[in-house]
Amino acid sequence: MHISDGILDPKICIGGYVLAACLVGIALKKVKQEDITKVSVVGAAFFVSSLIHFKVGFSSVHLTLIGLVGIVLGVHSSLAIITGLFFQAVMFNHGGLSTLGVNSVLFSVPALIVYGIFDMVFKRIMNHTVLGVIAGILAGGAVLLAILCVMFILYFSGEELRGFAYLFSISNGVLALVEGIVTAIAIMQILNVKPQMLQSYRQQVK
């Protein structure tokens, strides 16, 4: 799912860093001291999720947990995502330092959208199963949105990259389904065991 070093035009890389800085800036304004350890734990989970591969047919996909990160951390999700992506780039060379900004934006924006919609739904629906299914659909949609954005960037980065853009989106399409199922089950279990973990729940309690 990540865009690697060397593929993108430097203007896009710099633009990505500027947008990522804006998202991080917004998150920093809202973050409190007690949120630091929570953001770090979810950032570590986001990092480790890239190591978990699910066998699907003859292939395998690795999770991203964008939707889950968005629902758990809300506006702080961009902090966890940029940290997780940084360590993925320096420890496993997944993604890269030159594309860290672009990748952060591609993952953070869908995570924030998921949080925004889930937060609205959470105020109206109490049933855990329904909330879990909605979270799953949103998480699947978030992955599809990220894939579409990567495809769009690759498509307009050069005529030669168009074939790769199509192949990238087809090969990652199945991830949206897996991610949706994983997030749905995870949110149902979190709602049953520790709903305080969800940003929407914490805000409602306040």
Partner 1 sequence: MDLDNYSNIKSPIHSWDARWKCITFFGYILISAFVNNFYNLIVIAAASTLLVFFAGLPIRKVLKSLKPLFILLLFMVPVISLTPTGDAIFSYGVIKVYRDGLITAGIISVRAFSIVLATIVLFGSTRINIIIKALEFFKIPPVISTIFLFTYRYIFLYIENLNKLLTSAKLRGYRLLRGIRHIRNTVSILVSLLIRSYEQSERVYYAMRLRGFSGSFRSIGSFSFKWPDIVKTGIFVILFTVIIWIELL
Q: For residue 190, give every residue at least 6 positions away whose Cβ sits within 8 Å of its Cβ, in sequence order, or none.
A: 72, 197, 198
Residue 53 pairs with which residues in a beta bridge? 62
Q: How far is the CB of 70 from partner 1 (least distance, A)?
A: 14
The rounded distance, in Å, linking the Cα atoms of 90 and 70 is 23
Q: Which is nearer to partner 1, 75 or 79 (CB)?
A: 79
Q: How far is the CB of 4 from partner 1 (least distance, A)?
A: 6
Q: What track of x and - describes contact with partner 1 for positions 115 through 154 (by CB under 8 A)?
A: ----------------------------------------
Among the listed ranges 91-99, 112-120, 127-135, 139-147, the one in contact with partner 1 (CB under 8 A) is 91-99
**Does 31 sit near partner 1 (CB under 8 A)?**
yes
**Which residue of 1, 38, 110, 144 would you call a contact of partner 1, by CB under 8 A?**
38
Q: What angle do CA 50, 32, 81 make, to 5 degrees?
A: 15
Question: What Å distances lie between residue 70 and 22, 55, 94, 117, CA to CA?
Answer: 17, 25, 21, 10
- The footprint of partner 1 (CB under 8 A) covers 4-8, 10, 13-14, 24, 28, 31, 33-34, 36-45, 47-49, 51-56, 79-80, 83-84, 86-87, 89-94, 96-98, 158-164, 167, 178, 181-182, 185-186, 189-190, 193-194, 197
